[in-house]
């Protein structure tokens, strides 16, 4: 299966159960860091997510512009179709944005709306 997209995850998509539910498989992951962002938390009202991931409060990243701020997470290698599936998985609190990670790779990440 061709994995042609990089998706930076700092939350539930790092969990094997969420990968299986969202992508139908476990995806290849690597550690990475998102500089210039910080993590906030948002309360959600989504029974589907609550039932699968447990918490009603999920992390959400926001740009700070400060290169000393950073978010630690994982890069998931996904196909275009899997990226579409992750768009459907993420709730309205998020929008997908292109970012440059600490390793210099460009990846998608879900940031605060």
Domains of the chain: 5-112 (3.10.490.10)
Which of 102, 31, 23 lies closest to 70 in space, CA to CA?
A: 102
Given pLDDT bands bounded at 50, 70 and 90, which one contains residue 45? low
The helix (run of H) or strand (run of E) holding residue 39 is: strand 37-43
C-beta separation of 37 from 64 below 8 A? yes
pLDDT surpasses 50 at 1? no
Given pLDDT bands bounded at 50, 70 and 90, which one contains residue 59? confident
């Amino acid at each position: 299966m061709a994995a042609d997209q990089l998706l930076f995850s700092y939350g539930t998509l790092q969990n094997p159960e969420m990968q299986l539910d969202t992508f139908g498989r476990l995806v290849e992951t690597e550690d990475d860091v998102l500089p210039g962002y910080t993590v906030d938390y948002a309360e959600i009202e989504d029974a589907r997510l609550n039932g699968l991931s447990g918490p009603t409060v999920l992390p959400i990243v926001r740009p700070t512009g400060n290169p000393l701020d950073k978010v630690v997470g994982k890069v998931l290698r996904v196909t275009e179709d899997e990226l579409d599936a992750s768009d459907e998985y993420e709730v309205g609190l998020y929008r997908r944005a292109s970012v440059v990670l600490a390793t210099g790779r460009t990846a998608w990440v879900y940031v605060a709306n």
